[in-house]
């Protein structure tokens, strides 16, 4: 792995299909799309709310289901139908006053590569193609849609020494409900 200053990571950018989901796109006879998201990933994203790391999703497709998932998880930075993920990421970094050294990116395929080349830390799910795995810093043990996002979140929080704190705050929050 390259030399990475994990304490500078302030933004985790996620792809959707193949990362938050298993990559399958299912339509019924009425052309209604469905996707499955991992509750484990959702809890990990909730854990990030007790840290300084923000979450953004940048995806090439558009889905109302993803809009709802982001509302459920409190993700404010959602960008859909993005043709140029690098350009969108640079615009987001400018808006948030971040630099590439502040970015962790979890993607699963070559459309993520332009951002992968610049991000401070990069990861992919276990089921990404081997050639793509070779260009990332970290390959998850879990597949997309099956906890890969949670795995990366816990990895980042542990590297920053913030995992125990974020977990404790999450547990306190869950007890309040």
pLDDT digits (tens, 9 = 90+) for 26-49: 888 888 888 999 999 999 999 999
pLDDT digits (tens, 9 = 90+) for 84-116: 999 999 999 999 999 999 999 999 999 999 999
Question: What are the angstrom distances between the C-alpha of 49 and each of 35, 98, 116?
Answer: 24, 18, 24
β-strand 121-124 against 138-139: which pairing, if any? parallel
Task: Note the pLDDT of residue 1.
Answer: 63
To which CATH superfamily is domain 6-176 assigned? HAD superfamily/HAD-like (3.40.50.1000)
Residue positions counted in the chain: 177
- State how far the Cα of 79 lies from the Cα of 62, in Å rounded to an integer: 9
pLDDT at 127 over 70: yes
Q: What is the pTM of this model?
A: 0.95
Instruction: Say which DSSP state 111 is in.
Output: G
Task: Note the pLDDT of residue 176.
Answer: 85
């Amino acid at each position: 792995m390259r030399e990475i200053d994990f304490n500078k990571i302030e933004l985790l950018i996620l792809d959707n299909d193949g990362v938050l989901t298993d990559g399958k796109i299912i339509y019924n006879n009425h052309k209604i799309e469905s996707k499955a998201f991992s509750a484990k990933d959702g809890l990990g994203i909730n854990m990030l709310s007790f840290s300084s790391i923000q979450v953004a999703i940048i995806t090439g497709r558009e889905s109302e289901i993803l809009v709802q998932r982001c509302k459920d998880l409190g993700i404010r930075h959602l960008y859909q139908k993005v043709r140029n993920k690098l350009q969108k990421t640079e615009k987001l970094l400018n808006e948030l006053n971040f630099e590439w050294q502040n970015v962790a990116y979890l993607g699963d395929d070559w459309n993520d590569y332009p951002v992968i080349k610049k991000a401070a830390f990069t990861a992919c799910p276990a089921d990404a193609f081997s050639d793509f795995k070779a260009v990332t810093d970290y390959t998850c043990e879990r597949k997309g849609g099956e906890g890969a996002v949670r795995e990366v979140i816990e990895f980042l929080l542990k590297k920053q020494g913030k995992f125990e704190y974020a977990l404790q705050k999450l547990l306190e929050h869950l007890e309040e409900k």
